[in-house]
Amino acid sequence: MSAYDFLSDVLVLEVAQLGPDALGGILADMGATVIKVEEPASGDAVRYAGTFSIGGSEGGFGYMHTRWNRGKKSVALNLRDPEGVELFKRLASKADIVIEGMRAGALDKLGLGFSSLSNCNSRIVFCSLSGLGRDGPYARMPSLGPSFDAFGGLCVVEPGQEISKWNKPQPPAIGMYGMGWPAAVGVLAALYRARTTGKGAMIEVAAADVSAQWLPEATDAALNEKASFERGGFADDKGRMVKWARMDYYRAADGHVLLVQLYHDPHWKKFLRLIHREDLEALNNHPTASNSEEQLARALTGIFATRTRDEWLDVAENYDLPFMPVNTPHDLVSNPHFLARKSTYTVRHPVVGDLRLSATPIKTLNQEFAPALAPDLGQDTDSVLVKLLGLNAADIEDLRIRNVVR
């Protein structure tokens, strides 16, 4: 089993945990050999993180591990031991990319930062992937996934709003889940230069910065408040969508929910003709009537309750109307568009048998996406040290006895 072959000649060393695992995961999906260097005692905490475990017990792998660490090789190497540090440097001398996916500067403290590794490999691309970055007043603060979106203005609490466990902002963890993609763009751009000029690079991506850049219109307007003129966008002065009854969620006859997006007049008029309710056009054209939108919303609620969601989706497909099913995760995995887009792949798990897992959103012709299952801790230690460093079985057993490797 393998992923795509685009990066089949790229070697990556990764020292990462949790969200930063995503960068190495993306590179592995594209075919790179990603050697995940883990602390021998417990390894990456993401192995057992998350709401669900695989295999019928709490101790099973989590799905974040199967996503972010799929297709990688695991080497259990003690980087607090001088011999472990030297082995890492020897591996780095052969690598194209090194990923530091912990609190920024963690590898510097071990003598394995960019400046040190550049001495043994001038072409190395080093990526520091962290929560809050390498500098700034928050750089030394501990952080968890939701904190990045709180920093980036993505989970705003209204002034005076009481916050409790029943009433609090629900951050989508965009910074944590999105940080791998800009990091992948950065390291691949740097790798291109390294291969054409021989010059390595230091790349840094912080999850908090990803969240802060997620809504550039809002951030840039705030940066240029005096130069910004607020015009009529998609929301009215009460924060509701303009033509909000035509851009809302409606429950169909079978209880499923449909997102209706009849914002543009041609779609709206076509829809009214189809359901023989041209009278609603007059109602929608009375902006001075304070309750016109509420009346329209009530009318549409009754209309959409007359057919099932799939019947309305058939109407949308046949007449080119912008409706969309509002899926739960259970709905999504059986959705025909999701399945037609080859959004899953199957891999063999030693305990539960075949697992169907979500695939990469990147599609390509003539290649099947079928990466290997995320590795057990240290399962590739011997093979990597033999193949890349030329060690023999006796050398490795000696290292294992002295707790340098597992």
Length of the chain, please?
406
pLDDT of res. 377: 96
Q: Specify whether the CB–CB gap between 127 and 183 falls below 8 A.
A: yes
How far is Cα 32 from Cα 10, in angstroms, rounded to an integer? 5
Closest CA to 11 of 94, 103, 113: 94
Superfamily of domain 11-214+343-401 in the CATH hierarchy: Crotonobetainyl-coa:carnitine coa-transferase; domain 1 (3.40.50.10540)
Same fold, 11-214+343-401 and 244-332: no
* b/e sequence 284-301, b meaning 16+ C-beta within 10 Å: beeeeeeebbeebeebbe
Q: What is the pLDDT of residue 282?
A: 81
Paired sense of beta strands 257-261 and 247-251, if any:
antiparallel
Find out whether 151 and 211 touch, Cβ atoms under 8 Å. Answer: yes
Tell me, what's the pLDDT at 237?
A: 57
The candidate with the shortest Cα–Cα distance to 27, out of 70, 65, 74, is 70
Please report the pLDDT score of residue 218 as a whole number: 86
Report pLDDT for 387. 97
- pLDDT (tens, 9 = 90+) of the chain, 406 residues, equals 679 999 999 999 999 999 999 999 999 999 999 999 999 999 999 999 888 899 877 778 899 999 999 999 999 999 999 999 999 999 999 999 999 999 999 999 999 999 999 999 999 999 999 999 999 999 999 888 888 998 998 886 666 655 554 455 555 689 999 999 999 999 999 999 999 999 999 999 999 999 999 988 889 989 999 998 877 666 555 555 567 889 899 999 999 999 999 989 999 999 999 999 999 988 766 554 556 888 899 999 999 999 999 999 999 999 999 999 999 999 999 999 999 999 999 999 988 999 999 999 999 999 999 999 999 999 999 999 999 999 999 999 999 999 999 9
Q: Taking phi first (over 0 means left), then psi (-120 to 50 degrees means alpha), and beta for anything else, what does residue 213 get?
A: alpha
Q: What CATH number is given for 244-332 in this structure?
A: 3.30.1540.10
Q: Where are the domains of the chain?
A: 11-214+343-401, 244-332
